[in-house]
Amino acid sequence: MENHSVKQTFPVADMSCAACAAKVDKVLNSVPGVSRAAVNFAAATVLVEYDPAQCSPAALREAVRQAGYDLIVGAGDAAREAEKAAGERYRSLKRRTVWAIALSVPVVVVGMFWMGMPYAEEFMWLLSTPVVFVLGRDFFVNAWRQLRRGSANMDTLVALSTAVAWVFSLFLTVFPSFSDTHGLGHFVYFDSATMIVAFVLTGKWLEEKAKNSTTSAIRSLMKLQPATAVLVDGETEREVGVDELKIGDRVLVRPGGRIPVDGAVVSGYSSVDESMLTGESVAVEKEAGSSVFAGTINMQGAIVVSVQKLAADTMLAQMVEMVREAQGSKAPVQRVADTISKYFTFVVVSLAVLTFAVWLLVGGTAVFSSALVCAVSVLVIACPCALGLATPTAITVGIGKAAEGHILIKDAAALEKVCKVSAVLLDKTGTVTEGRPIVVSMKRSPELTDEQLSVLYAAEKKSEHPLASVIVEHLQRQGAAAVALDSFEAVAGRGVRMACRGKEYWAGSERYARENGVDGKLPESKGGSSVYFGSGNQLLATLELADHVKESSPVAIDRMKRMGLKVYMLSGDNEEAVARVASEADISLWKSRMLPSDKDAFVRELQQRGEVVAMVGDGVNDSQALARADVGIAMGSGTDVAMETAMMTFTTSDLELLPAAVRLSRKTMNIVHQNLFWAFIYNVIGIPVAAGLLFPVFGVTLNPMWASAAMAVSSLTVVLNSLRLKFVKM
């Protein structure tokens, strides 16, 4: 029995750090029927691939709830649900942060300047209590949930540190003589407890705001999908939600409106801006029978469109889903951070206990307060959030930026691999060239008249040969006009025969020219196909047709070379045709008469030489090589097979997207490495300082409130560094 797995993205609630994400990841991957689960901490979502016959969204949610978190499961669109949840989370954080700061400032002021005034400690106690236990309630609730399951996370660290500081301070406030009796020193830390909560909430609020910017590409794509459509039912028109439309329904699209679904024009004539799909700025003319796509803009006349795909199945919806899945996937470089995050909290708690014990061992009860301060500072400063955000924020922004530039990346691993590419293999037809022939030259005999050229034009208009339309377009540009033909006949495998004003003419292949009595040497083709036109044994014109190199191809290839990439062109065409294209595109490394298996073998050969290979193609014949390559890239004009096989898809046929993708990948991975370096260095330096390493030399310790500020700054720095990718020039 076949396994029909499905992929689905769910928003995840109550995750506060990378350790939480690692826990959810582990739990979901252990559920029977789940083949893969990847948690994106930055986006607060999880991508799950599962067998619906073995498990359900409800079962997934229950497993996550058992771990102390929640999975948002509903009938609505996952991206919209995630966006809604993120909005609510952001507003809640903002409110709590504002109140925490408002109540904490007086506590800090009193603690720093007015401790000698009457009832100072009681005042600090009064204001700190709602900050710690009301505004910071979530820290304790989540920590308790984790504790019940034998686990811990960042909330555990915050709850433990603030509770210890607050309880110790309350004890000394209620029993002021205890400290003097036992030589502990009378210090209260209500200000530290409140500022820990205030700083952590501020960091989370700013972090949430910045993280929302990382998913702006998804939101931009989603906004292209109209929410409603004008349904035409006989003579009546009514506005309905796009989700209500059924296959075969007819919708009216007025000038200036976005087309709601993929379909075909039933009536009307207009031009449509398809730049969001193709990148082409020139509007495309549409008439009855023309295909139209959701999200594109109707520029001129009103058109009626027959629905061919539901809202969830449109090309735009597929693009959104592809980007969303890619943003939720994990890059290989993330594995180190995930492994560390799993054990980080327990290690930190152990270090805090060790710090406290060492201080007491060295200094006795006389340094009790300092021991407590250092232990609390260790708990606060060692948050693994920066480590958890380092990779996913950069990957999310990078993949979103690529989507805005007409580059669809299948997963994070593909984005990471592109920067390592050393050799690029280009298919010729449709990749380097336009994919359709044009007339590159026409040799006219002195006897050829304009009327005779019009005869050829009229005949090719009647012909059903694939090359006929190309010749028609060329002759039209030459000023030819159709004339009435006396007769017309298509000669299978050879060409056409026609008569005009009593004179007979023919047009076709070299073989057909010889059959009509043309002697002597015919003009040779320079890597293309030739069509001969004549009357009797007289040759009147020779039209040479060849696939044309795209205008952008030489520029793109030059950029790739300057980036240090080896560029090869592979083609199944003859040597002359491939040599001509290679010369025009400035490609020195090329191979002709390549079968699909030959392309596959060549990829293997380069890989054995140590090259990291990217294969770019658009046809079924490229699918083997695309799958074999380290990075397979399909052109947007290509076949579904090529796109399905590839790790990356260009939604336009512009080859300049390739060096842009490499440049973006390199920049993204540079930022990932910067983020990881900062996250590691922060903890390597921060934890020893918080533990009191500087005290023997400088006589100073790190106040917990500043430790919390440093923790917040570290996470925010990582997110803001990732957001720099939004400004990378593609």
Residues annotated as catalytic are 427
Task: Decide if 719 contacts 211 (C-beta within 8 A).
Answer: yes
Beta strands in 423-502 (DSSP E): 423-427, 433-444, 487-491, 495-500
- Could you give the CA distance from residue 401 to residue 318 in angstroms, rounded to a whole number? 17
Going by the DSSP 8-state scheme, the letter that residue 432 receives in this structure is: I
Query: Which amino acid, residue 544?
Result: E
Of 92, 79, 88, 93, whose CA–CA distance to 43 is shortest? 79
What is the enclosing helix (H) or strand (E) of 391? helix 385-404
Task: Decide if 165 contacts 376 (C-beta within 8 A).
Answer: yes
Instruction: List strands edge to edge, sheet with 297-298.
Output: 284-286, 270-273, 297-298
- Could you give the CA distance from residue 397 to residue 405 in angstroms, rounded to a whole number? 12
Task: Decide if 235 contacts 282 (C-beta within 8 A).
Answer: no
Q: Look-up: residue for tokens 């708690």?
A: 349
Contacts of 330 (CB under 8 A, 6+ apart): 38, 338, 391, 392, 395, 412, 413
End-to-end CA distance of the chain: 46
Q: Look-up: residue for tokens 């440093």?
A: 710
Contacts of 647 (CB under 8 A, 6+ apart): 409, 410, 411, 413, 414, 417, 631, 632, 633
- Could you give the CA distance from residue 547 to residue 196 in angstroms, rounded to a whole number? 68
Contacts of 88 (CB under 8 A, 6+ apart): none
- Which two tokens mark 183? 């030589």
* Phi, then psi, of 292 in degrees rounded to 5: -130, 160
Q: Look-up: residue for tokens 């007086």?
A: 106
Q: Are strands 6-13 and 45-50 parallel, antiparallel or unpaired?
A: antiparallel
- Could you give the CA distance from residue 320 to residue 104 in angstroms, rounded to a whole number? 43
Burial string for 327-348 (b: 16+ CB within 10 Å, else e) reads: bbbbbebbeebbebbeebbeeb
- Nearest 10 degrees: CA dihedral of 59, 11, 336, 400? 140
Q: Look-up: residue for tokens 């947007």?
A: 636
Give the helix ranges, DSSP H, for 463-521.
468-477, 510-515
- Residue 273: strand pairing partners: 297
- Which two tokens mark 448? 């050829």
